[in-house]
Chains A and B, each alone.
Chain A
Amino acid sequence: GENVEQHPSTLSVQEGDSAVIKCTYSDSASNYFPWYKQELGKGPQLIIDIRSNVGEKKDQRIAVTLNKTAKHFSLHITETQPEDSAVYFCAVLLGTASKLTFGTGTRLQVTL
């Protein structure tokens, strides 16, 4: 089955700095790569996603890049704010099923 690795497990940045989280996957047939933000006591919230026919996607301060050859994709958050503090999960979808395989999560802390 699909294997997803996520790094780093924890990340601390100062407010205003950028944060980058990287995930690698194993199955080259994977075609959908979402990122979820999970705040304490809440369910995961979809923040951005990218499909295999696109190399980069941006939404305000958040961007995702995909390298299909290397089988990795990254989340980039610029101008971080305290409310960005949360656990971030990458995920991978294989084919047209709805089964997502998640990474192990990155705890992002944005300090003042």
Chain B
Amino acid sequence: ETGVTQSPTHLIKTRGQQVTLRCSSQSGHNTVSWYQQALGQGPQFIFQYYREEENGRGNFPPRFSGLQFPNYSSELNVNALELDDSALYLCASSLQGRGTGELFFGEGSRLTVL
């Protein structure tokens, strides 16, 4: 158990809809990163939030957006869902400034877009 919790665990949406995924980081961690893991693939970096601001972004379009709250929890929002957005969305927390790179993942939210 990493202490990183994500909700919901599973959800089904249709094309064009919007989705919000939530993440509570491990106690003491101030940084949250989001990754997308398609079936049979490794996780792909979406973005990272530190001190409530985006701190790095991968190759994902603007319809992928996020928030970080003062308690370090975070949301991932995806607008105008496409079939290819079907994946496991992983949240990972870490301690910025420590420079260790250690990420602790939650169990993920599995999104299916029909």
Chain A interface (Cβ < 8 Å from any Cβ of B) = 6, 32, 34, 36, 41-46, 49, 89, 91, 93, 96-105
Contact = CB atoms under 8 A, between A and B. Distances in A.
Given A43-B106, A43-B108, A102-B43, A32 B48 contact: no
A64 to B, nearest CB: 14
21 contacts: A6-B42, A32-B100, A32-B101, A36-B105, A41-B107, A42-B108, A45-B105, A89-B42, A96-B101, A97-B48, A98-B31, A98-B33, A98-B48, A98-B94, A98-B101, A99-B33, A99-B58, A100-B43, A100-B45, A100-B103, A104-B42
Interface in B55-114: 56, 58, 90, 94, 96, 99-108
A49 B101 CA distance: 10
Contacts of B102: 34, 46, 49
Contacts of A46: 102-104
A89 B43 contact: yes
Interface of B: 2, 4, 31, 33, 40-45, 48, 56, 58, 90, 94, 96, 99-108
B43 A97 contact: no
B17 to A, nearest CB: 24
A42 B107 contact: yes
Given A46-B104, A100-B45, 18 more contacts: A32-B100, A36-B105, A42-B107, A43-B4, A43-B105, A43-B106, A44-B105, A96-B99, A98-B33, A98-B56, A98-B94, A98-B96, A99-B33, A99-B48, A99-B58, A100-B103, A101-B45, A105-B41
A103 B41 CA distance: 8
Q: Which of B4, B31, B102 has the most chain A CB atoms closer than 10 A to its own CB?
A: B102
A16 B35 CA distance: 34
B21 to A, nearest CB: 13
